[in-house]
Structure formats: structure tokens, C-alpha cells
């Protein structure tokens, strides 16, 4: 019960993603983001590579951001130094938060989180693909969102789409279409031309 | 993808539950509530009656509130007339929202939602138990929350605990302890004395 109360704090961790719609127009929090991933999985799970264990993927996406209770959320396009600091903070957070559970459950959830983070298995790669796809949909829905606010261009988004493709070729193709759609709609700037 | 974008609206549906903690102090929305239930399930699933299908329970709690995108959230202690209006609005919402999906997925999720609503199977009873337990924890965490704001007394809460017990005797016992704890802490008023 102490763990159940503790994880409620994730509702207070704000992400860069801006939500748009009735009663929204605010930043997304990591709890509702995680819900969105798990619910997407119910309808997009059929695009997972054969042999993917969808129950494990569901558990991964539900718990993947719990470390942000201590470490906060880092913007996807942060630099390498900020990313390294974040990684250390997240590992420390995982040490603290999962340890609230009885030892067997702590070990089980920590293993899932480590696997999600390492992205070496098919389950983790599919979970990470969902985690990358969802903010793209929110940015489209918000008419540009973080892309516009941070001056992100299509080439930067496409570099991240590679990770979606890696988890699911079908979802990767969907993501590429979304990028084209966003550029065509004028809500995502094309790659800047290089001068030579 | 249209369904995935549509369900994002659940982040804008506010519940009566008040959240408390760093960056919080606001009403909970139905998306983060649903995330909390699914994540509770990962650690409390062992208290489900033998034979419960935890993957089905997870799907139920993830989608159980989607109908609130159209119908809004109704307070647990609303009267019978308000509840009947809500039931009709939720059925109409289920007709619209699940129909956004391809027919096979629409039928599958609608069946789960109907089952959750009817509360006739072990899976649904366990899902409903989680749905009742979580706001009790938030109210405790918030030092009274909706109980105090609406003048709810311990006997009213205990009447709802019966439904938790029905889904899981172990979680029912936990919920009874929480009620005693809340009364002892002075954040939930005991049942009013009846005069003869």
C-alpha cells in the first residue's frame, strides 16, 4: 500500500508535451502519458513482432516513468551531458522506489525497468516504440506543440523515428507518415538546407 | 490512430478525487486514475481470486472510464436518478467511442467494458475492487479529500467497501483497515448516531 501511495506522485511530474483539447491546454504528466501508452498497446499490439509478450510490454510502459518521481522528466532532445546526469538520477530513483515493495516484486519490476532502459529485447523495443510514437500524436493534435516551441525540425524527428521502426516496422511507417503529414500541414518545419 | 488520438481526451475529464502532494493539489483526471489502477494491479494482482485473468483485468481498468469522454464523471455517492441518467449517457458514449476502432477490436473492447459494468465475472469484480480502493487511498493521502468536502461518513464508505470485498476478500480487509485508520486519524467522521 505504501508503494501504491508513492507512485501516485507520478501525477505531479510534468512532461514537455502540451495537451490540447476541451479542459486541457496544459502540460501532460507522466502518469497519464503512461496510461496512454498502455491503452494504445491494447489496439496496436497486433503490430508487435511475432513472439512479443504483450503483458510484459504493458507492465513496462506502466512503470517506465516511475523513476521520474525523483529524477523528473528530461526533454527528448536534451544534450548528451544532460542525458548522462539524467541516467544516473534515474538509476538512483529506481533503487529507492522499487525497494518499497516486497523483495520478490521489487526484483521483478526492477528487471522490467532495466530491460526497458537497455532496449535489448523485442519486448523493450516495442515498449520504447510506443513511448516515442505517443508524443508525436500529441504534437500533431496540438498543432505543433513541443516541435514549434523548441524549434525542432523534421530531420530531428525522423532521427527519433528510427527507434520506433526498430520496435515495429509497421508503427515506424505510421510515424514516417505522421512526419510528412505534419510538414505538409506546416506545423513541423522541414530540415534546414545545408550550405555547402 | 484516430482512436489513439480520441482517447487522449480522457486526460481532460476531472474526477471528484483531490490529489495532494508536490506539484499536485488539484482534481484527479480519469486517465491518470486509470493508470494508477493498472499499475496497482501489477503489485496487488496476487490478491485476486484464483483463476482471475489479470491481462483481462488490466484491459478493463485501462478502458473502463473512456465513456467519460462524452458522459463525464459521476460522483460515487450520487443519487439513483443521477446514476440512471449517467448509465444511459455512458452506453451512448460506448456506442460512439469503441466504434472508432476496426470492427473486431471495437467488439472486443466493448465486451470488456460491458463486462466491467455488469460486474458478474471474477475478472470484473476484481477490476471494480481496484476502482473502489484507489480513491480511498487518495482521500487518506489528502487528509480527507472528498469525504470531508461532501460530508461522507464511515458507514457510507463501508457500504462501498462491500464491493471491494466482493472482488477480493484480502483487499476488502485492507480497505476496512483504511477506514478504521481514517476514523482514528480524525479525517473521516464516524457514522452519525441514530436517535430512537
Instruction: List, for residues B137-172, the tens digit of each pLDDT value.
Output: 999 988 888 898 889 999 999 999 999 999 999 999
User: Which residue in chain B has the smallest CA separation from A174?
Assistant: B1
State yes or no: pLDDT of A196 exceeds 70.
no
Q: Do B8 and A137 touch (CB under 8 A)?
A: yes
Q: Do B32 and A29 touch (CB under 8 A)?
A: yes
Q: Which residues of chain B have a CB within 8 Å of the CB of A4?
A: 36, 40, 43-44, 134, 137
List CB contacts of B131: < 8 A, sequence separation 6 or more. B37, B61, B64
Instruction: Render pLDDT for A117-128 as a digit per residue (tens, 0 to 9).
Output: 999 999 999 999
Partner B contacted by A24 (CB < 8 A): yes
**Mean pLDDT along residues B90-101:** 97
Residue A165 CB-density burial (10 A; 0-12 exposed, 13-18 middle, 19+ buried): middle
Partner B contacted by A107 (CB < 8 A): no
Phi-psi label, residue A145: left if phi above 0, alpha if psi -120 to 50, beta otherwise: left
Q: Does residue A132 or residue B21 have the better pLDDT?
A: A132
Band of pLDDT at residue B69, cut at 50, 70 and 90: very high
Contacts 24+ apart (CB under 8 A), A89-92: A90/A117, A91/A67
Q: Do B141 and A5 touch (CB under 8 A)?
A: yes
Partner B contacted by A62 (CB < 8 A): yes
Q: Do A42 and B63 touch (CB under 8 A)?
A: yes
**Residue A82 vs residues A25, A64, A95: alpha-carbon distances, Å:** 27, 19, 20
pTM: 0.94
Partner A contacted by B47 (CB < 8 A): no
Q: Which residues of chain A have a CB within 8 Å of the CB of B42?
A: 59, 62-63, 109
Q: Return the minimum-mean-pLDDT range out of A34-48, B47-61, B70-84.
A: B70-84
Instruction: For helices A154-167 and A122-141, give the axis angle rounded to 10 degrees.
Output: 140
Band of pLDDT at residue B88, cut at 50, 70 and 90: very high
Residue A186 CB-density burial (10 A; 0-12 exposed, 13-18 middle, 19+ buried): exposed
φ and ψ at residue A183, rounded to 5 degrees: -65, -45
Q: Do B62 and A55 touch (CB under 8 A)?
A: no
Partner A contacted by B104 (CB < 8 A): no
Instruction: Give this complex's ipTM.
Output: 0.93
Out of B23, B24, B35, closest to residue A34 by CB: B35
**Mean pLDDT along residues A163-180:** 96
Q: Do A4 and B40 touch (CB under 8 A)?
A: yes
Instruction: Render pLDDT for A53-100 as a digit per residue (tens, 0 to 9).
Output: 999 999 999 999 999 999 998 887 889 999 999 999 999 999 999 999
Best of A6, A26, A39, A70 to substitute, by most chain B Cβ atoms within 10 angstroms, is A39
Smallest CA–CA distance, residue A176 to chain B, in Å, is 13
State how far the Cα of B92 lies from the Cα of B43, in Å rounded to an integer: 34
**What is the percentage of chain B residues whose pLDDT exceeds 90?**
81
Partner B contacted by A23 (CB < 8 A): yes
User: Which residue in chain A has the smallest CA separation from B70?
Assistant: A22
Band of pLDDT at residue B76, cut at 50, 70 and 90: confident
Strand pairing report for B14-19 and B26-29: antiparallel
List CB contacts of B153: < 8 A, sequence separation 6 or more. B188, B189, B190, B191, B192
DSSP secondary structure code for residue A48 in this structure: S
**Mean pLDDT along residues B125-148:** 92
Smallest CA–CA distance, residue B12 to chain A, in Å, is 5
**Mean pLDDT along residues A153-174:** 95
Partner A contacted by B12 (CB < 8 A): yes
Partner A contacted by B58 (CB < 8 A): yes
Smallest CA–CA distance, residue A78 to chain B, in Å, is 23
Amino acid at each position: 500500500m505504501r508503494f501504491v501511495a508513492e507512485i501516485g506522485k507520478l501525477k505531479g511530474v510534468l512532461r514537455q508535451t502540451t495537451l490540447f483539447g476541451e479542459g486541457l491546454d496544459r502540460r501532460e504528466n507522466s502518469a497519464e502519458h503512461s496510461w496512454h501508452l498502455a491503452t494504445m498497446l491494447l489496439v496496436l499490439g497486433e503490430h508487435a513482432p511475432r513472439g512479443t509478450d504483450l503483458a510484459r510490454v504493458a507492465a513496462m510502459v506502466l512503470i517506465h516513468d516511475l523513476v521520474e518521481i525523483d529524477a523528473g522528466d528530461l526533454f527528448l532532445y536534451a544534450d548528451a551531458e544532460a542525458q548522462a546526469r539524467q541516467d544516473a538520477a534515474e538509476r538512483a530513483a529506481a533503487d529507492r522506489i522499487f525497494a518499497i515493495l516486497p523483495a520478490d516484486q521489487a526484483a521483478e519490476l526492477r528487471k522490467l525497468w532495466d530491460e526497458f532502459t537497455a532496449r535489448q529485447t523485442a519486448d523493450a523495443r516495442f515498449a520504447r516504440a510506443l513511448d516515442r510514437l505517443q508524443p508525436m500524436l500529441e504534437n500533431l493534435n496540438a498543432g505543433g506543440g513541443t516541435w514549434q516551441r523548441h524549434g525542432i525540425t523534421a530531420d530531428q524527428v525522423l532521427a527519433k523515428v528510427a527507434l520506433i521502426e526498430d520496435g515495429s516496422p509497421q508503427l515506424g511507417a505510421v510515424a514516417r507518415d505522421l512526419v510528412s503529414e505534419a510538414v505538409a500541414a506546416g506545423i513541423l518545419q522541414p530540415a534546414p538546407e545545408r550550405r555547402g
